[in-house]
Chains A and B, each alone.
Chain A
Amino acid sequence: MPMNLLGRRRFLKYGLAAASAAALPAPAFAYPDRPIRLIVPFSPGGATDVAARLWAEKMKPTLGTVVIENKGGGGGVIGATEVARSQPDGHTFVFGNTSTQVLVPAIMPKPPYDAVKDFAGVYIMCLSPTCIVVHESVPARTLTEFIAYAKANPTKLSYGTAGAGTMTNLSGELFKHLIGTPEITHIPTRAPRPA
């Protein structure tokens, strides 16, 4: 192969690495061989970002610098897509969540990636559960009492979420579905904050 196509430096790096790998019994690749990129598919400052930065800080002593890149937009789909199309060499990770890895690909008519086939799971660091919470004036002390109240007065009830299409919205829809009260109205109370 002509050297000007491959490039002398690349030949020296990869050609010699391949030659030495073939000669040695143990894997000869060094990992990582450059800074690791952690794509956070949301804007900076949210709780997800805090957890991602904590991880990056803890990896530093062993893996060296982990560069965090906040790539928000599209419910996290933009950042996740970048990792779905990256080289599978362990130098690019996405700090994904239920939206990017489950809900968005399940809900979008033409998702840009396959949640199962395009990613390798590595580690689920934490969970952020939702809850059912009512104002003190609602006449129900327990969940059982509230279910009875909701079934008796479904049109009186509405529930608020951080926005349509979020896990909090899905949580409310799940509750309505389980107790059989589709009449309860969803009110997106404000624009979604950073996840």
Chain B
Amino acid sequence: MTDLAAGHIPMMTPNVGATLLQFHRAGTVRILAIAAQQRMKAAPDIPTAIEAGLPGMVAANFNGLFARAGTPRAILDQITQLTRAAMAEDEVQKSLITSGFEPILDSGPEEASGMVADELARWVPIIKATGFKME
């Protein structure tokens, strides 16, 4: 981030956090677009890449709970219910937004597994096309 702010590198594709938004507000750097389906609660004035003319430019990290396959459905449902109740609290949402996250209020077992399937379907061809390698 300091390399970008100092002009040593012209461009970055980082996660959107508080420090980056400060540099953006100060005019040192310019966030041209957010790589997400929706605008961010922490920066509602910045357009998504989709809005700005580059459909497909969606690259967001998700965070969430996963259990071992075969865990009883009643347990998954109970955890989902408790997590939804927690996520409905303002204080929880604020705390996540401050840490640079977009809280998700209506997830669950289908949504979580669906997210993995969707992301695999989206990234595998890109990984192959770009010859992307792990460090």
Contact = CB atoms under 8 A, between A and B. Distances in A.
Interface of A: 27, 31, 38, 47-48, 50-52, 54-55, 58-59, 62-63, 75, 80, 83-90, 92-99, 101-104, 106-108, 115-138, 140-144, 146-147, 156-165, 167-179, 182, 184, 187-189, 192, 195
Contacts of A144: 52-53
B16 A160 contact: no
Given A123-B79, A147-B54, A189-B9, A129 B34 contact: yes
Contacts, number: 370
Interface residues of B, number: 92
Contact of A121 (B86, B101, B116): B116
Interface string B15-51: 1110010001001111111111000100000110100
Contacts of A52: 63
> Which applies to chain A's interface (DSSP): helix, strand, loop or mixed?
mixed
B32 A126 contact: no
A98 B12 CA distance: 20
A115 B95 CA distance: 29
Contacts of A162: 14
B132 A55 contact: no
Nearest to B87: A125
B59 A167 contact: yes
Given A121-B64, A123-B107, A128-B63, A177 B11 contact: no
15 contacts: A50-B99, A51-B101, A54-B96, A87-B68, A103-B123, A107-B127, A128-B101, A131-B31, A133-B12, A136-B7, A143-B33, A163-B135, A174-B130, A177-B130, A179-B54
